[in-house]
């Protein structure tokens, strides 16, 4: 009788947001702080580096969303925060995940809320494998400004991880 030992290597999930289609509710007039700046791979939080988004400062409930172009199981969403004295603007931001863009996606399931920032230049919300195609970041309330320097979405295609695991187990059984 032979005994097989199984060893599984788990690779980190990829950032599936990189260079995907994005939209934000407004762009600060006369600037280049477009929605796509949040998924261009530039993690620098300094505004002069040109890596950040920025909505109009007088907008009510500004929002930003990304289309992942397919259903994903989202494990975490990380936001790289703008440096300097304006990081506080992100407090209260809500992150939702789902398959609808009704009301800009803000009615989709909630992954997390930015409650505090501390001294870290990032905020990560753990989403526990929530499924969805769209990720929305919005700040409810009047006269809010949404500015982010990168949004990273760590996810796998829905069902893909389970299928890979089943194939690996099948392969290991056949090899014993």
* Lowest pLDDT segment from 31-45, 132-146, 160-174: 160-174
The band of 163, judged by pLDDT with boundaries at 50, 70 and 90, is low
pTM over 0.85: no
Q: Are 42 and 112 in contact (CB under 8 A)?
A: no
Q: Quote the Cα angle for 62-42-123, to 5°.
A: 55
Instruction: State how far the Cα of 167 lies from the Cα of 172, in Å rounded to an integer.
Output: 9
Instruction: State how far the Cα of 14 lies from the Cα of 42, in Å rounded to an integer.
Output: 16
pLDDT for the residue 169 = 74
Q: Which tokens belong to 111?
A: 């992954």
Per-residue pLDDT tens for 62-114?
999 999 999 999 999 999 988 777 788 899 999 999 999 999 999 999 999 99
Per-residue pLDDT tens for 1-18?
455 554 555 567 899 999
pLDDT for the residue 160 = 58
Q: Is the pLDDT of residue 161 over 60?
A: no
Q: How many residues does the chain have?
A: 176
Q: Is the pLDDT of residue 158 over 80?
A: no
Per-residue pLDDT tens for 14-56?
999 999 999 999 998 777 889 999 999 998 877 767 889 999 9
Q: Looking at residues 149-153, what average pLDDT do you find?
A: 96
Q: Are 64 and 137 in contact (CB under 8 A)?
A: yes
Q: Are 87 and 81 in contact (CB under 8 A)?
A: yes
Helix (H, G, I), strand (E, B) or coil at 140: coil
pLDDT for the residue 176 = 67
Judge residue 89's burial from the number of C-beta atoms within 10 Å of its C-beta, 0-12 exposed, 13-18 middle, 19 or more buried.
buried
Residue with tokens 């209260």: 92
H or E segment and range at residue 163: helix 160-175
Residue with tokens 């796998």: 156
Tell me the residue ranges of DSSP E strands in the chain: 21-24, 63-81, 94-98, 109-113, 122-138, 148-157
Q: List the one residue out of 166, 9, 8, 153 whose CA is nearest residue 78.
A: 153
User: Which one is predicted more confidently, 87 or 165?
Assistant: 87
- Which domains, ranges and CATH numbers included, belong to the chain? 21-175 (2.60.120.260)
pLDDT for the residue 125 = 95
């Amino acid at each position: 009788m032979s005994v097989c030992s199984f060893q599984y290597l788990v690779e980190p999930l990829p950032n599936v947001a990189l260079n995907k289609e994005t939209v934000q509710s407004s762009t600060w007039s006369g600037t280049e702080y477009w929605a796509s700046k949040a998924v261009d791979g530039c993690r620098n939080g300094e505004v002069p580096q040109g890596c950040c988004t920025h909505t109009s400062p007088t907008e009510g409930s500004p929002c930003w969303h990304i289309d992942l172009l397919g259903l994903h199981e989202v494990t975490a969403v990380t936001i790289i925060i703008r440096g300097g004295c304006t990081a506080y603007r992100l407090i209260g931001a809500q992150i939702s995940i789902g398959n609808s863009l009704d009301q800009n996606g803000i009615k989709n399931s909630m992954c997390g809320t930015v409650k505090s920032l501390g001294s870290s230049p990032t905020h990560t919300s753990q989403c526990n494998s929530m499924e969805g195609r769209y990720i929305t970041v919005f700040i409810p309330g009047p006269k809010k400004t949404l500015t982010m320097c990168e949004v990273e979405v760590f996810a796998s295609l829905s069902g893909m991880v389970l299928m890979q695991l089943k194939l690996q187990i099948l392969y290991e059984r056949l090899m014993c």
